[in-house]
Amino acid sequence: MSAPTKPWSLRRRLTSRVLLLVVGGWLATIVVSARVLEHEMNEMFDEELRALVETTVLYLDASGTAAIPRNIGVATGDGERVLRIVPESLPGGAQIPPAPWSALDGDGFHDAEGWRILRSTAEGAVIEAAHAVVWRREEMIEAASAFLMLVLPLVALLLWGLRRITAEAAAPVSALASAVAARRPDDLSPVSADGLPRELLPLAQAFGGYLTRIEALRRAERDFVANAAHELRTPLAAIRGRLQLSADPDTAAAVPMIDALTRRVERLLQLARLEAGVGLGSGPADALRVLRLLIDDLRPTARHPIRFDDSDLETLMVATDPDALAILLRNILENAVEHGSGPVLVRLTPAGVLSVENPTQATALPAGRFDKSRDSAGQGLGLAIVADLARAMGAPLEQGIAEGRARVTLRLPLAG
């Protein structure tokens, strides 16, 4: 079986992809801008070298003196920008200061050993002006950093605005999902389409149509079950009365079958009344008294002994309808007696916690309505009625089977 698909968020996906596209575009823009900035700054630095060489030539021409061999750091002692002047013909004993780069051939720009050099011959001198490539790169990085610092606030503002815009665009989807998720299982009213965009209107309208159809089907099912159960009660009672008057042993043996059929009809009627919300008042009801009456009624025909621990209570008032409480407790007890394989232990605490426990050969509880064990003679409605009634009464219910014992725990709401 394939693993379940992990749920994903439309808003998060839309936001992440838009942000990814925008950030990618900005990064590409920054990279291109950096390349353009590097090219423009290199041209500017080359213009600076050309201006320095031309100024030096003009100075030599205006001074009218022979060029003196020297290396001059344009920035004091930094060794990153160098102006080198060498006479074409050296006087006797003159020494040429060493250059940070190898000898150059010809005038013009040269790239050698980490330097960008402009060489020019004029006024009887060789003039070489150079920039260190490292210095150029550092200057370019500083300029790019300043540009980036100016752009980052704009990027942050853009990202914030995109998140807000995508959140507002996905708000109707989130509102519709929240409204559907917050609905009670029995709420089949149409979904409101107010404020929804055109893209979501067909979804809301189709969902509302499905709910209306489901409500009609449920109403028809409930009416059918209630009418059928109600109409069957009187004929079954009449048949049972006639069978009891007969002296035929075979006829008398059919009476328990009629009683079992009557109980099934009563459960169907209880289920229909529960789904219709009939008979679910707030009480109060004496849970101890109801339990004692039910146990006394079930003991004579029970397959296994029923032991009742009442915690020495004299009364226990709970906030629920007496008839609904009797239906709920009777179904719990009948299910334990019918499906268990040993004595039934019933315990009621002063806090309103009712537990019913007994041995069983079953390994798991029925999965749903009309689901029953292999040896059951019922229709699988008992636990369904118990679960629905407990939910309607606001009484937390826990059911389970562990280590060969079935246990039902019901927390009844105390009155007052």
- DSSP, residue by residue, 79-123: SSEEEEEEESSPPTT--PPPPSS----SSEEEEETTEEEEEEEET
* CB-based contact 363:325 (threshold 8 Å): no
What is the model's pLDDT at position 163? Answer: 77
What is the model's pLDDT at position 230? Answer: 66
What is the model's pLDDT at position 148? Answer: 77
> What tens-digit pLDDT sequence spans the chain (416 residues)?
455 566 666 667 777 777 788 778 878 887 888 788 888 888 888 898 889 888 888 888 787 777 777 777 765 445 688 888 888 776 655 677 788 888 888 889 998 888 888 988 887 888 888 888 888 888 888 887 887 787 778 778 877 887 788 777 777 777 777 777 777 766 777 777 777 777 777 877 887 788 888 878 777 776 776 666 666 777 777 777 777 777 777 777 777 777 777 767 776 666 666 666 555 566 688 888 888 888 888 888 788 888 888 888 888 888 887 877 887 888 888 888 877 788 888 898 888 888 888 888 776 665 444 344 444 444 445 577 777 777 777 788 888 888 788 888 888 888 87
In DSSP terms, 294 is beta-bridged to none
- b/e for 16-29, b at 16 or more Cβ within 10 A? eebeeeeeeebeee
If phi over 0 gives left and psi between -120 and 50 gives alpha, with beta otherwise, what is residue 308? beta
CA distances from 217 to 206, 221, 243 (A): 17, 6, 38
What is the model's pLDDT at position 272? Answer: 65
Token readout for 105 is: 């051939």
Please name the residues in contact with 249: beta carbons below 8 A apart, sequence gap of 6 or more: none
What is the model's pLDDT at position 370? Answer: 39
Quick count: other Cβ atoms within 10 Å of Cβ 413? 15
Amino acid (one-letter) located at 115: W
Token readout for 393 is: 């009464």
Q: What's the rounded Cα separation, in Å, for the pair 291 and 331?
A: 12
Q: Where are the domains of the chain?
A: 11-90+99-148, 183-278, 280-411
Sign of the C-alpha dihedral computed for residues 312, 317, 320 and 325 taken in this order:
positive
Q: Which residue has 């150059």 as its token pair? A: 104
- Selection from 56, 68, 67, 47 nearest residue 131 by Cα: 47
In DSSP terms, 358 is beta-bridged to 406
Please state which CATH number belongs to domain 183-278. Answer: 1.10.287
- The conformation of residue 301, written as its DSSP 8-state character, comes to G
Please name the residues in contact with 11: beta carbons below 8 A apart, sequence gap of 6 or more: 166, 167, 170, 173, 174
* CB-based contact 257:293 (threshold 8 Å): no
CATH superfamily of 280-411: Histidine kinase-like ATPase, C-terminal domain (3.30.565.10)
In DSSP terms, 118 is beta-bridged to 109, 129
Task: Give the 3-state secondary structure percentages of the chain, helix then strand then coil, rounded to 5.
Answer: 55, 15, 30
Q: Report CA 263 to chain centroid distance, whole Å.
A: 46
* CB-based contact 350:312 (threshold 8 Å): no
